[in-house]
């Protein structure tokens, strides 16, 4: 339990930051789900459009500190190759 005013403030800040990061992660997952569904449907045009929309959102997660740069790049790369494979 935080005792000093400084620690109490830090705890409040952590709660707020956690909520913001949780929203960002959820938003990224929603975009990823849209790409997955488009790939599963077999519609390459929809999959390409979904990937185009998801890519900046994933990279925004990197700049906001929600995920690591290499993790985001790996996700985008693997999705792109799967979208390309859809026929």
Asked if 52 and 82 touch (Cβ cutoff 8 Å), the reply is no
Q: What is the mean pLDDT of residues 18-30?
A: 97
Sign of CA dihedral 18, 20, 26, 32: negative
CATH of the domain at 22: 1.20.58.110
Predicted structure pTM score = 0.87
SS3 category, 11: helix
pLDDT band at 32 (very low <50, low <70, confident <90, very high): very high
Read off the pLDDT of residues 37-69 as tens digits, 9 standing for 90 and up: 999 999 999 999 999 999 999 999 999 999 999
Q: What is the mean pLDDT of the chain?
A: 96
Q: How many domains does the chain have?
A: 1
The domain in which residue 59 lies consists of 5-85
At a CB cut-off of 8 Å and minimum separation 6, what does 38 contact? 46, 47, 49, 50, 51, 83
Tokens encoding 36: 């997955």
């Amino acid at each position: 339990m935080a005792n000093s005013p400084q620690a109490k403030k830090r705890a409040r800040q952590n709660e707020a930051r956690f909520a913001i990061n949780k929203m960002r992660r959820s938003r990224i997952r929603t975009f990823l789900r849209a790409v997955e569904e488009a790939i599963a449907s077999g519609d390459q045009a929809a999959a390409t459009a979904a990937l185009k929309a998801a890519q900046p959102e994933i990279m925004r997660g990197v700049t906001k500190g929600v995920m690591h740069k290499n993790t985001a790049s790996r996700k985008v790369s693997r999705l792109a190759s799967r979208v390309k494979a859809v026929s």
